[in-house]
């Protein structure tokens, strides 16, 4: 992988590629073989922010590495910490683009929510990220660097080690498979995060789900379903027009048949939109064939819409109806909503004062012309 300045981005290389490239570099310079292990130790275990931090390497070797390799390390543009401990990083990339990641601590784990794109082309009506449209894909190095930066902050601030990662930040991960899939391997094989502790969230990009089904690693999949039928889903999720819910279910069967790859369904609860009592049974009928779990997510208010979250009584009703049909369900409580870090609230552009796009309930915002095609699939 090559950075814009033509140097190879070390952070974005697969572990075996990184080892090979570094070993070849030191061999050319007549350095001992152990130099490569030193660099890899700094990269994966010690979390060096740059080559300068690799203090056990001679000055000449650090300088030579910096000339040959890039070391993706975005700057912290802003740090926000919630009253519940949730922490949001706003990262500024080399070209000035802004992305966000979120650390979510609980008593038993520390989860990092990372971005896969700058902006998003999906334009789901209930999510703030898509308001400004899609800007560009992230590289594998830019994705992994969010983990590296958040891990360093967590270690320095008493949060401990990151235990879980979810690709649930800005962007649709499966519209950036060229970078997301290598980043999965880097986090898994380079940084030692178990595949079952890494979850990829998708609104329903069928080709990407099928590719994940073929992977030997048991990465988890979270499907942003949000409606149990085609008519309602296409109102709030534009991708439904391209990949219908029936096509999505068929892809999920393939994923499920691969074995050991758990599916979680995400379902946003919007008062008067997605929480009609009859929808609970329809949802159960739609997903009952899967040994899956349902996260019911109360809608997190965002500027530009009058939608409201469902009542606690309706949330409880959905849980009871689903569990009566043998489907495990849980209400995911909002974390970090006071710093706009809750589900559906990430929108880095707003931090820089860019004007939000207004939407109305029942409508969907269109992505900028040509942007969805640029995202690829």
Structure tokens at 72: 């993706």
Given a cut of 50, whether residue 368 has pLDDT beyond it is no
Q: Which domains does the chain have, with CATH numbers?
A: 9-70 (1.10.150.530), 75-375 (3.20.20.70)
- In this structure, the number of other CB atoms found within 10 A of the CB of residue 278 comes to 9
- CA 100, CA 110: separation in Å to the nearest integer? 17
Confidence (pLDDT) at 301: 79
Say which residue, 127 or 216, is predicted with more confidence: 216
Q: Which of 127, 343, 349, 372 is catalytic?
A: 343
Counting Cβ atoms within 10 Å, is residue 169 exposed (0-12), middle (13-18) or buried (19+)?
buried
Q: Which of 61, 97, 100, 349 is catalytic?
A: 100
Given a cut of 50, whether residue 188 has pLDDT beyond it is yes
The pTM is what? 0.88
pLDDT in tens, 230-266: 999 999 999 999 999 999 999 999 999 998 778 999 9
Q: Name all contacts of 238-244 with Cβ < 8 Å and 24+ positions apart.
A: 238/122, 238/123, 238/124, 238/364, 238/366, 238/367, 239/122, 239/203, 239/204, 239/205, 240/204, 243/204, 243/205, 243/206
- CA 209, CA 287: separation in Å to the nearest integer? 16
Given a cut of 50, whether residue 225 has pLDDT beyond it is yes
Counting Cβ atoms within 10 Å, is residue 185 exposed (0-12), middle (13-18) or buried (19+)?
middle
User: Is 343 annotated as catalytic?
Assistant: yes
pLDDT in tens, 110-130: 999 999 999 888 888 877 776
Structure tokens at 240: 């439904």
User: Is 120 annotated as catalytic?
Assistant: no
pLDDT in tens, 279-290: 999 999 999 999
């Amino acid at each position: 992988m090559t950075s814009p300045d033509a140097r190879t981005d070390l952070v974005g290389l697969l572990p075996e590629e990184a080892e090979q490239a570094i070993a070849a570099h030191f061999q050319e310079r007549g350095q001992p073989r152990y130099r490569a292990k030193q660099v890899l130790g700094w990269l994966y275990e010690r979390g060096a922010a740059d080559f300068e931090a690799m203090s056990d390497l001679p000055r000449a070797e650090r300088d030579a590495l910096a000339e040959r390799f890039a070391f993706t390390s975005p700057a912290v543009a802003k740090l926000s910490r919630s009253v519940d401990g949730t922490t949001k990083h706003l990262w500024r990339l080399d070209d000035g683009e802004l992305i966000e990641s979120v650390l979510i601590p609980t008593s038993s784990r520390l989860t990092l929510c990372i971005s896969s794109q700058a902006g998003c082309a999906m334009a789901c009506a209930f999510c703030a990220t898509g308001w400004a449209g899609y800007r560009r894909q992230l590289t594998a190095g830019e994705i992994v660097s969010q983990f590296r930066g958040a891990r360093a902050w967590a270690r320095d601030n008493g949060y401990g080690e990151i235990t879980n990662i979810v690709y649930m930040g800005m962007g649709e991960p499966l519209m950036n498979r060229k970078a997301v899939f290598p980043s999965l391997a880097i986090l898994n094989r380079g940084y030692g995060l178990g595949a079952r502790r890494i979850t990829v969230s998708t609104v329903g990009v069928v080709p990407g789900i099928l590719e994940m089904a073929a992977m030997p690693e048991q990465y988890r999949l979270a499907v942003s379903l949000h409606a149990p039928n085609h008519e309602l889903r296409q109102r709030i999720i534009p991708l439904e027009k391209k990949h219908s819910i029936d096509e999505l279910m068929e892809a999920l069967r393939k994923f499920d048949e691969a074995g050991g790859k758990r599916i979680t369904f995400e379902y946003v609860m919007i008062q008067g939109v997605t929480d009609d009592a009859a929808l609970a049974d329809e949802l159960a009928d739609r997903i009952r064939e899967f040994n899956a779990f349902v996260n019911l997510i109360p809608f997190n208010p965002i500027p530009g819409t009058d939608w409201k979250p469902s009542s606690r009584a309706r949330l409880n009703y959905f849980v009871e109806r689903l569990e009566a049909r043998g489907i495990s369900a849980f209400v995911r409580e909002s974390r970090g909503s006071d710093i706009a870090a809750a589900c559906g609230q990430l929108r880095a552009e707003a931090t820089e004062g860019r004007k939000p796009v207004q939407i109305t309930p029942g409508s969907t915002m269109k992505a900028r012309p040509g942007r969805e095609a640029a995202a690829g699939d």
